Chains A and B, each alone.
Chain A
Amino acid sequence: MAERRGVLARGLTGWAFAGPATLLVVGLSIFPTVWAFLISRTRWNGIAIPRPLGWANYRLMAEDPELWDSVRHTFVLTALFVPSSILGGMTVAIALSQQVRLIKFYRTCIFVPFVASSAATGILASYVFNPQFGTANELLRRIGLPPQQFLEDPRQVLVVICLIALWGQIGFTAVVYLARLQDRPKDLIEAAMVDGAGRFRILWHIIVPELRPVTVFMVVWQTITALQLFDLVYTTTRGGPLSSSTTIVYYVFELAFQTRRYGYGSAVAYGLFAVTMVLTVGTILYSRRSKVEAF
C-alpha cells in the first residue's frame, strides 16, 4: 500500500515538472499533425462543411504541374544550398580557428548576419539586388560587367536566393564547426607536422575526418533549412517572377492562406513531411553504417 502510494506520489511529482511543457510541445505538434491528415482527405475552404474525398487529394498531386515545378525549385535550391553552406562553413571555420591578429573582429563580422531575421534579410536583399538602384549591379558596373536582373530573372532567382540564405547561414555553420575544431587533438597535428606532413595533408587527413560527425549533422540540418525556406522567398519574390521561385513550403502557404484549399494544401504538406523523413532517416542510417557517430 505504502509502495503504491509512493509510486503515485512520484508520478504526480514527475508530471508536475514535465507535464506543462510536454503538453504544450506535443499538443502543438502531434495533435495538429493528426488533424492535418484528416483535413488532407477532404475538400475544405475552412468555412463550409468539409467534403470527404478519400485519397483524391493525394492522387491530384501526381498531376499538378505547379506542385512539380515547386518540387523542382526546392530541389535546385537544396542542391545549391546544402553543399555550399557546408563547404563554406567549414572553410570559414578553419580560417577563423587560426591564431592571427584581428580574429575576434573577423568572427564578429562573419557571425553577425545570423542574428538578423530572414524577413529583414530578405528586405535588405531586395534592395541590394534591385536591378536599378541596387549595390550588386553598381559593383558589376564598376568592374565592367553587364547588369543583371537577379531576383527578377527566372533563371537567376534561385541562385540569388541561395546566396542570400548562405549570407545568413554560413556564420551558424562555421560556429558549429569551430566548436569542434577548438577541441581537436592538437598533439596529432603537431606530430604530423614533425613528421613533415604538409598543410594540405594535415587538413585532408586529420582535420576533415575529425569534422565528419559535424558534417553529417549539418547535412541534415541544412537540408531541412533548405526544404523549409519560406521567409526569404516571401520577402524577396513572393514566389515570382512567374512562379519561378515558388518552393514547396511557399506553395503550401499559397494553397492554404491565399486560395484557401486547406485539404489539398495539407496533402502537399504531408508529401513534404514524407520526403523530409526519408532524407533525415536515410542520412542517419547511412552515417550509422559508415560509423560516424553524429546522432
Chain B
Amino acid sequence: MSAVRPGRRRLLPFSPWHLLLMPLSLVFVFPLVQMVLTSFMTSADINRFPPRLIPATLSLDGYRELFAQSNILQWLLNTVIVSTASIAGHMILCSLAGYGFARLRFAGRTPAFFAIIATVMVPIQLLMIPTFLMFSRLGITDTLAAAFVPWLASAFGIFLMRQFFLSLPKELEEAAKLDGCGPFRTFYSIVLPLAKPALATLAIFTLLGSWNDLVWPLIAISDDRFYTLQVGLTTFQGTRRTQFEQLMAGNVVATMPLIIGFVLAQRWFVASMAFTGVTR
C-alpha cells in the first residue's frame, strides 16, 4: 500500500498512518510513563488538586516507604526463583516430551497426547479448589513450590516443542542412529542444539506466565515471606489504597524487569507472542 500512486496529491507532508499510530502509541505508553513518574512523586504532589502529571520535585519517598514497609526484595527474589524453576522445568520436560511425541513410537502415545491437548479446555477456576486442597495435603502450601509446580510443564509447551521437532528433517537423526547413537544421545547432542529458537520462545512464554501469575500463589501462599511480587503487590495495595507513590514504586519493581527485557529482546518476545496465537 506504500506504492506512490501517480496523480494522487498528498495532503500531508507525512504518511496519514502517523495520525493513527502516534496517538495510539501515546495511549499505550503513557500509563507506563506515568507509573514511573508517579513513583518518584511526593504524596503532596499526588494528592493536590488539580493533580500534577509531571512531578515538581523528584522524591524517593515512595521507594523508601516501599522497602521499609514491605518485603519487596524478598518477593522479587522469590519471583526470580519461581520463574527460573518454571523455565528450567519447561525447557527440560517439554522438550523431552515434545521430542517423544514427535519422533518416538510407543504404546499410548496418541491417547496421552490427546489428554494433554484436552487439558487446555479446563478453566482455571475449576482447578482452584482441588489444586489448593492437593497442595495442602502435599504440605507445599506456603512454600515457593506452590507457585512453580503448576508451571513446570504445560500443554502449550509440549505442543510448541512437538511442532518444532516435527518440522525438522529426519535425516540427521537417522544418520546419528546409524552411527550407533541411542535416542537420548541423539536428542541431546543432535536435536537439542537445533532447537534454540523454539527453546527461546518457550523460555519467554514461561517467563511471562510465571512472573505475572497471580492466581496460584494467591490461593496457595499466605505467608508473607513466600509471596511472589504479584501477590505481594495486591496485599500491599489492600493496606494502602491511596498511597500511590508507594504502589507505583512497587509496580515499577514488579514490571520493569520484563519491560526492559522486552525492549532489549523485542524480536524474541514478539515471536513468542505470535506463536501463542499460532497454536491452533
Contacts and interface: CB of A to CB of B under 8 A. Distances in A.
Contact of A116 (B1, B133, B149, B255): B255
B21 A95 contact: yes
B112 interface: yes
Contact of A112 (B3, B32, B278): B32
**Contact-residue bracket for chain A:** 35 or more
Interface string A164-179: 0001001110011011
A127 B106 CA distance: 55
A135 B34 contact: yes
Given A95-B21, A116-B259, A135 B93 contact: no
Q: Which of B22, B126, B233, B251 has the most CB of A within 10 A?
A: B126
Given A110-B24, A171-B28, A179-B274, A127 B247 contact: yes
A294 interface: yes
A258 to B, nearest CB: 11
A112 B262 contact: yes
A215 to B, nearest CB: 11
Contact of B51 (A21, A134, A199): A134
Interface stretch (B65-73, B95-103, B169-177, B193-201): B95-103
B97 A175 contact: no
B277 A214 contact: yes
Nearest to B133: A46
Interface of A: 7, 10-22, 24-26, 28-33, 35-36, 39, 46, 91-92, 95-96, 98-103, 105-120, 123-128, 130, 132-135, 138, 141, 167, 170-172, 175-176, 178-179, 189-190, 193, 199, 202, 213-214, 217-218, 221, 224, 227-228, 230-231, 234-235, 248-249, 252-253, 256-257, 262, 265-266, 269-270, 272-273, 276-277, 280, 294-295
Contact of B270 (A25, A111, A214, A273): A111
Interface of B: 1-3, 5, 14-15, 17-18, 20-22, 24-29, 31-32, 34-35, 38, 46-47, 49-51, 53, 93-94, 96-97, 99-101, 104-109, 112, 115-116, 118-119, 121-134, 149-150, 152-155, 157-158, 183, 187, 208, 211-212, 214-215, 218-219, 230, 233-234, 237, 241-242, 244, 247-248, 250-251, 254-255, 258-259, 261-263, 266, 269-270, 273-274, 276-278, 280
> DSSP class of B's interface residues: helix, strand, loop or mixed?
helix
A9 to B, nearest CB: 10
Contact of A30 (B97, B119, B234): B119
Contacts of A179: 274, 277-278
B51 A120 contact: no
B114 to A, nearest CB: 10
B126 A266 contact: yes
B242 A32 contact: no
B104 A13 contact: yes
